[in-house]
Structure 1
Amino acid sequence: MRDGLRLALTTFTVLPVRAGRIDRSTARTAMVLAPVVGVALGALLAGLALLLRLAGAPAPLAGVAVVAAAVLATRALHLDGLADTVDAFGSYADADRALAIMKRSDIGPFGVVALLLVLGAQVAALTAVLPRPPLAVLATLTVAAGTGRLAVTLACRRGVPAARPDGLGALVAGTVPGWVVAPAAVLLAAAGGAADPGRRWLGPVAVAAGVAVAYAVTRRATRRFGGITGDTLGAALELAGTVTLAVLAC
């Protein structure tokens, strides 16, 4: 459990945690704990947002600052995976060539557009959320970040193969029992009700939308590349978290 938590923290944050044992058993624990790490990160981002609001920062500026903090807290690793995955999806190349595109260090036009749209959507959603009561801000950010990491748990469920014999995808693919996703989604959906007490149904809808996007990305990656990679996990995380945040901001 301790090694799994360390792996989860080093995979999803920039915390300087000393690495422990790394194998598929540890990877399973890390992927199961991914939503917990996301909730903790969301709580920290909510604290930053509320401090900025207390200091009198305009909501759009505070939104940019919170998104920038989230990027720094994750080394932009997941955004890089999003850009690489979208470039590969849009390449019309066969599986081997598409995987080679994902490994390249440059970003193509599809990836650039994807980054602009996702980051723009996050800032716009936060601009709408930040003037709300503190509990609503906390619930929104923790649920969005938690659902983003739940997307990785979903993608690593048993039955989903890895696209390559090496890399992060090979380490974590197929390690998580499928039943783990449901209780985590239910807890996040319940917490999401606090994002808008007048419309408590919005929390479950937002989480369901995020999970649906994660499932679609994973399914598309499996059919397109033969399985998941570290990049496709990053893409699922960013898209699921953004969609959840956008729905909660409505």
Structure 2
Amino acid sequence: MADAWRLALGTLTALPVRPPGRVDRRTTRAAMLLAPLAALPLGVLVAAVLAVGVALALPPLASGLLGVGALAAGSRALHWDGLSDTVDGLTASYDAARSLEVMRSGTSGPAGVLATVVVAGLQAVSFAALVDAPLVAGALVCLSRCALWIVCCTRVPGARPDGLGASYVGTVPLPVAVVGGVLLSVTGGLAVLLLVRRVTRRFGGVTGDVMGAAIEVALAVSLLTWVALLG
């Protein structure tokens, strides 16, 4: 479990932790299961940013944008890179090999940049609407990592045998993936399922980039849902 904690924190946050002593399928499975808890420092960070924004009488949208920025810094913007690469891959070509090559290049095309701006904007606006409920915003940050349970479900194939996400693919049991969908709420879970279905058809499976994209999409949709419910 110590190795799983180190792997989860080292992968999903910018916290300085020792590298795990062993990384095998058992360790990566446990790390994925721990993902929502590993994101707790990020949830606390976002909640604190929103609370401080209220205390300083900042405009809500400014607090929301700062929340998005703090969250990106706390995760080394790794998930945003995944979102950009995934969208670029989906719009690059109908040939799976070509799309995967575009994703591997690491450069951001216009589609990826636009997707990042839109999703980040939705998150910022939603955080702004939740400045008086910072604990809700922080909790949703943690729950958004349940998207990994869906993407890494044993029923979901990998698009390639290498890459950052290859060792995580297919490690989460189906019942846990179902629980993840429930915890994300119907809309957030549905958005991740649609993303997984789309990339599986286009790429033949999921990649590490898709995992990052799923987290950001899940957070945006879940935030919008709760803003509507609380509004």
TM-score band, normalised by shorter chain: over 0.9
Q: CA deviation at 1:34?
A: 1.0
Aligned length: 227
Aligned to 1:152: 148
RMSD: 1.5
Q: CA deviation at 1:223?
A: 1.3
Q: CA deviation at 1:137?
A: 2.3
Q: CA deviation at 1:163?
A: 0.8
Which letter does structure 2 place at the counterpart of 1:25? Answer: R
> Which deviates more from structure 2 when the two are superposed, residues 148-157 or residues 54-63?
54-63
Q: CA deviation at 1:93?
A: 3.2
- Which ranges of structure 1 fall in alignment gaps of 5 or more residues? 190-206
Contact 1:82 1:238 in 2 (8 A): yes
Instruction: Identify the structure with the greater helix proportion.
Output: 1
Q: CA deviation at 1:36?
A: 1.7
Contact 1:35 1:184 in 2 (8 A): no
Which letter does structure 1 place at the counterpart of 2:19? Answer: A
Which letter does structure 2 place at the counterpart of 1:101? Answer: V
Aligned to 2:114: 113
Aligned to 1:165: 161
Aligned pairs for 1:198-213 (under 5 A) are: 207-213=185-191
Which letter does structure 2 place at the counterpart of 1:6? Answer: R
Which letter does structure 2 place at the counterpart of 1:70? Answer: L
Aligned to 1:237: 215
Partners of 1:8 and 1:104 in 2: how far apart? 25
Partners of 1:89 and 1:48 in 2: how far apart? 34
Partners of 1:223 and 1:185 in 2: how far apart? 20
Aligned pairs for 1:180-199 (under 5 A) are: 180-184=176-180, 186=182, 188=183
Aligned pairs for 1:75-86 (under 5 A) are: 75-86=76-87
Q: CA deviation at 1:39?
A: 4.1
Which letter does structure 1 place at the counterpart of 2:15? Answer: L
Contact 2:86 2:213 in 1 (8 A): yes
- Which ranges of structure 2 fall in alignment gaps of 5 or more residues? none
Contact 1:164 1:170 in 2 (8 A): yes
Q: CA deviation at 1:9?
A: 0.6
Partners of 2:227 and 2:200 in 1: how far apart? 31
What TM-score does the superposition give when structure 2 sets the normalisation length? 0.93
Task: Note if 1:141 corresponds to 2:119.
Answer: no
User: Counterpart of 1:173 in 2: which secondary structure?
Assistant: coil
> Which deviates more from structure 2 when the two are superposed, residues 55-64 or residues 73-82?
55-64
Q: CA deviation at 1:43?
A: 2.5
Aligned to 1:88: 89
Structure 1 residues 105 and 116: CA distance shift in structure 2, 3 A: same
Identical pairs, percent = 42
Task: Note if 1:2 corresponds to 2:12.
Answer: no
